[in-house]
Amino acid sequence: MYIMTTFISSNIGYPRIGKDREWKHALESYWRGDQTEEGLRKELQTIRLNHLQKQKELGIEHIPVGDFSFYDHMLDTAFMFNVIPKRFQSQSRSTLDTYFAMARGTEDAVAAEMTKWFNTNYHYIVPELDDIEPSLRANTPLNDYQEAKRECGIDGKPVIVGPITFLKLSKGKHADLLQEWLSTFIPLYQQVFSELAEAGARWIQVDEPILATNLSTAEWELIEACYTKLTEAVPEANLLLQTYFSDIPDYQRLIQLPVTGIGLDFVYGDNLSSIKKYGFPKDKTLAAGIINGRNVWQADLESKLAIIDELSSEIPEGNIWMQPSCSLLHVPVTKTSESKLDQTIYEALCFADEKLSEITTLVQASNHGKESVEDTIHDHKQALQNFLATQQFDEHTSVTASMPTRNLPFTQRRQEQETHLSLPILPTTTIGSLPQTDEVRSTRRKWRRKEITDSEYQSFIRDEIAKWINIQEELELDVLVHGEFERTDMVEYFGEKLNGFTVSEYGWVQSYGSRCVKPPLIVGNVEWTKEMTVREVVYAQSLTEKPVKGMLTGPVTIYNWSFAHEALSRDSVQNQIALALEKEVLTLEEAGISIIQVDEPALREGLPLDRNRWNAYFDAAVRAFRYATSSVQPGTQIHTHMCYSEFSDIYETIDALDADVISIETSRSHGELIQTFEENDYQKEIGLGVYDIHSHVYQVWKKLEQILNVRLIRLM
């Protein structure tokens, strides 16, 4: 067994996109046909090796390999084990194009479902277990391990999604047969681990974040049997069972698993209390997730050292690694490119590279004493204190204990809205944003660089709105949208408009595939000072007799897709955002806009992994949404939109939002929410999303007729 001798630095995963999003640009170049497969593979290898080398230079000792991906790590795992649906198995396609087809779809095969990776804004491709014959196509963690050693001289830590998480997050008509599927997949994992150990891998990181959720006794018995078989078959492999995003409800069972090391999150949840109460095995290594891998603010290093001291009193010397709480996939690469941020904010920021420096500082302090890094700790502390001192944040006096409500119940509102809007029984609309073409992006860049005037930019936006209002009318849509051509991103745009936010220049984070977003930073009291969306929507409405929707992003989504400092109360910030949005909603209504959509695609995203903590989260989310939307007149129709979520277990919360219309994605999830609405007496309006806007291929969903039948039954 491999034994540590000192505190060791480790990383769980590194951002794929590159400092300048070169990963994104390489992929999109290939998809456009501007790059060959050989050229793409070579370019991505260069990016991958640069990332490894950078971690080495930053002093990380256990560097992950295999965390890099051409698209998504769950897709990688499925592809490695030949979990390839039959609709993608074409002899005419290359291996790489088959891989991309699963993620993006083709003319004759709808893409695999995409959904959120636990409670993050990262989307993974959902493996499909129907009609497959699993096998090990290629040991990709082994290939990555050997490449890192050969090209960089790095004896890396191979990373793989564990069998429990992989299977629990997969789908199929027999996906619930966990025991049967494990009997198929355990031998494949054994082969992967055996080949890695034979190649000299000292540690193998097996990611099992599913263990932080509420699992049944029967499932834990299967987990115990699974890891017993794995370790008995490959006793020479040192498995690090890595969890993250929360503490472990079944901590006592976790620490009894026959693995060499366990990775725990010491930022979210309270794993420290579990260790103090139940101890930690003396024969296991603890990979302690000390630094927040999901936020962008500097850590209080002294408080982190205090946690390490507490862990040291419980765990034998030499058995502790220090690492981020999760993969750094969820934060930008480096702050060094930022040149326009306020200096106080800049100094308090900590992106992926800076977080790894925090890790090595903590290791240095623990191994050689705080005095060895005294200046670094002092500068860190001063920067954090300066930032928090300048942050003006107060509880909002308008927040009350009672739940905000509309003036009339839905049944009465609906009558007024039907009279006012005169829509057909099955109205058609789009979710909101229309194509952000190269011309739109190029013109926006010119405007930001002051190469064109404000007037010229506004004229261009108006031309785009007019063009697309005309297109929508020609298509005979019933409720139109202005297209959002003035917006970069559905959250970043509001971060630029509301007081209390600031926006970075290069703080990109991967959302799905090559899609990257730039979450704004919450740095003070959130306040509405002027209209943000009214001008464009009112102009669009002036061009048509049909209703045009006002389009806003909801308070929960804005919070979840922004970076707020841990010292701030989530509920307080969320309510401030909601009250700011309320002013925009009322301004739209006063301007004559009768349908206002307040999108909450991230409603579920901040949901704790432990179900016992759900009620408090949902109560706060519903309250914030209602603060933003409840003051309108009964005849004003409030819409909301959600996507890529499991709806069956949050149905009551969806209903509690009291939106008049909810639009839900039903294309890429293959219509699975139908059963939820069949089993529940949902009385409000439902907008069914039947076209996958994330696929480059047009697909009409086969179950559209079934959905419409459900809707018609509700109306009868």
For 123-135, what is the mean pLDDT? 95
pLDDT at 601 over 50: yes
Contact 647, 675 (CB under 8 A): no
> What's the 3-state SS for 476-510?
CCCCECCECCCCCCCCHHHHHHCEEEECCCCCCEE
Residue 468, H or E segment: helix 454-474
> Tokens at residue 75, please?
């897709």
Q: Known binding site: residues?
A: 24, 121, 431-433, 484, 515-516, 561, 599, 641, 643, 665
For 65-87, what is the mean pLDDT? 97
Q: Which of 275-279, 286-290, 343-347, 401-405 has the lowest mean pLDDT?
A: 401-405
For 185-196, what is the mean pLDDT? 98
Give the pLDDT of residue 185: 98
Residue 663 is classified by DSSP as E
Whose CA is closest to 639, among 549, 538, 715? Answer: 549
Residue 525, H or E segment: strand 521-527
Residue 459: band (very low, low, confident or very high) from pLDDT cuts 50, 70, 90: very high
Give the pLDDT of residue 388: 86
| Sequence-separated (6 or more) residues with CB below 8 Å from residue 348 | 297, 298, 383, 384, 386, 387
pLDDT at 675 over 70: no
Condensed to tens digits (0 to 9), the pLDDT of residues 196-218 reads 999 999 999 999 999 999 999 99
Residue 522: band (very low, low, confident or very high) from pLDDT cuts 50, 70, 90: very high
Residue 691: band (very low, low, confident or very high) from pLDDT cuts 50, 70, 90: low
| Sequence-separated (6 or more) residues with CB below 8 Å from residue 183 | none
Give the pLDDT of residue 2: 42
Q: One-letter amino acid identity for 371?
A: E
Write the DSSP assignment of 4-67 as a string of letters: --S-EEB-S---SS-TT-HHHHHHHHHHHTSS-HHHHHHHHHHHHHHHHHHHHHTT-SB-EES-
pLDDT at 168 over 80: yes
Q: Say how far apart CA 324 and CA 10 lie, in whole Å.
A: 8
Q: Model's pTM, two decimal places? A: 0.91
Residue 175 is classified by DSSP as T
Give the pLDDT of residue 310: 95
Condensed to tens digits (0 to 9), the pLDDT of residues 224-236 reads 999 999 999 999 9
Residue 703: band (very low, low, confident or very high) from pLDDT cuts 50, 70, 90: very low
pLDDT at 668 over 60: no
Within 10 angstroms of residue 579's Cβ, the number of other Cβ atoms is 20
Give the pLDDT of residue 604: 85
Catalytic residue among 420, 482, 694, 696: 694
Q: Known binding site for Zn(2+): residues?
A: 641, 643, 665
Residue 662, H or E segment: strand 661-665
Give the pLDDT of residue 647: 65
Give the pLDDT of residue 702: 39
| Sequence-separated (6 or more) residues with CB below 8 Å from residue 110 | 87, 667, 668, 670, 692, 695, 697, 699
Q: Say how far apart CA 388 and CA 382 lie, in whole Å.
A: 10
Which residue would you say has higher pLDDT here, 90 or 97?
97
Q: Which of 1-5, 49-53, 249-253, 508-512 has the lowest mean pLDDT?
A: 1-5
Q: Known binding site for L-methionine: residues?
A: 431-433, 484, 599
Burial class (CB in 10 A: 0-12, 13-18, 19+), 697: middle
Residue 521, H or E segment: strand 521-527
Residue 222: band (very low, low, confident or very high) from pLDDT cuts 50, 70, 90: very high
Q: Known binding site for L-homocysteine: residues?
A: 431-433, 599
Strands 114-116 and 123-125: antiparallel
Give the pLDDT of residue 275: 97
Contact 361, 376 (CB under 8 A): yes
For 154-180, what is the mean pLDDT? 94
Which residue would you say has higher pLDDT here, 172 or 68?
68
Q: How far is CA 651 from the centre of its chain?
A: 21
CA distances from 49 to 196, 243, 394 (A): 19, 26, 46
Contact 594, 635 (CB under 8 A): yes
Strands 521-527 and 499-502: antiparallel
Contact 658, 681 (CB under 8 A): no
pLDDT at 669 over 70: no
Give the pLDDT of residue 280: 96
> Tokens at residue 565, please?
């400092």
For 144-163, what is the mean pLDDT? 98
Contact 202, 158 (CB under 8 A): no
CA distances from 666 to 417, 449, 528, 644, 669 (A): 25, 40, 34, 9, 6
Give the pLDDT of residue 336: 96
Give the pLDDT of residue 672: 57
Give the pLDDT of residue 5: 47
Give the pLDDT of residue 401: 63
Range among 106-120, 173-187, 460-474, 698-712 rated most confident: 460-474
Contact 677, 710 (CB under 8 A): yes
Sign of the C-alpha dihedral computed for residues 98, 101, 102 and 107 taken in this order = negative
Contact 679, 87 (CB under 8 A): no
Residue 708: band (very low, low, confident or very high) from pLDDT cuts 50, 70, 90: very low
Give the pLDDT of residue 665: 67
Q: What share of the chain in percent tops pLDDT 90?
A: 80
- Residue 96's φ and ψ, nearest 5 degrees, are -65, -40
pLDDT at 482 over 70: yes
Residue 395: band (very low, low, confident or very high) from pLDDT cuts 50, 70, 90: low
Q: Known binding site for 5-methyltetrahydropteroyltri-L-glutamate: residues?
A: 24, 121, 515-516, 561
Q: Say how far apart CA 240 and CA 8 lie, in whole Å.
A: 14
Which residue would you say has higher pLDDT here, 58 or 711?
58
CA distances from 385 to 388, 390, 525 (A): 5, 9, 18
Give the pLDDT of residue 433: 87
Give the pLDDT of residue 158: 98
Domains and CATH numbers, the chain: 8-14+57-390 (3.20.20.210), 412-420+429-665 (3.20.20.210)
Write the DSSP assignment of 71-130 as a string of letters: S-HHHHHHHHTT---GGG--TTS-HHHHHHHHHH-BTTBPPPPEEESTTSS-EEEPPB-T
Contact 633, 598 (CB under 8 A): no
Q: One-letter amino acid identity for 242?
A: Q
> Tokens at residue 645, please?
């979520």
For 384-388, what is the mean pLDDT? 90
pLDDT at 699 over 60: no
Contact 618, 573 (CB under 8 A): no
- Laid out side by side, the sheet with 563-564 consists of 499-502, 521-527, 563-564
| Sequence-separated (6 or more) residues with CB below 8 Å from residue 116 | 122, 123, 124, 604, 605, 644, 645
Strand partners, 207: 161, 242
Residue 166: band (very low, low, confident or very high) from pLDDT cuts 50, 70, 90: very high
Active site residue 565: no
Q: Say how far apart CA 522 and CA 193 lie, in whole Å.
A: 43
Q: Say how far apart CA 376 and CA 525 lie, in whole Å.
A: 30
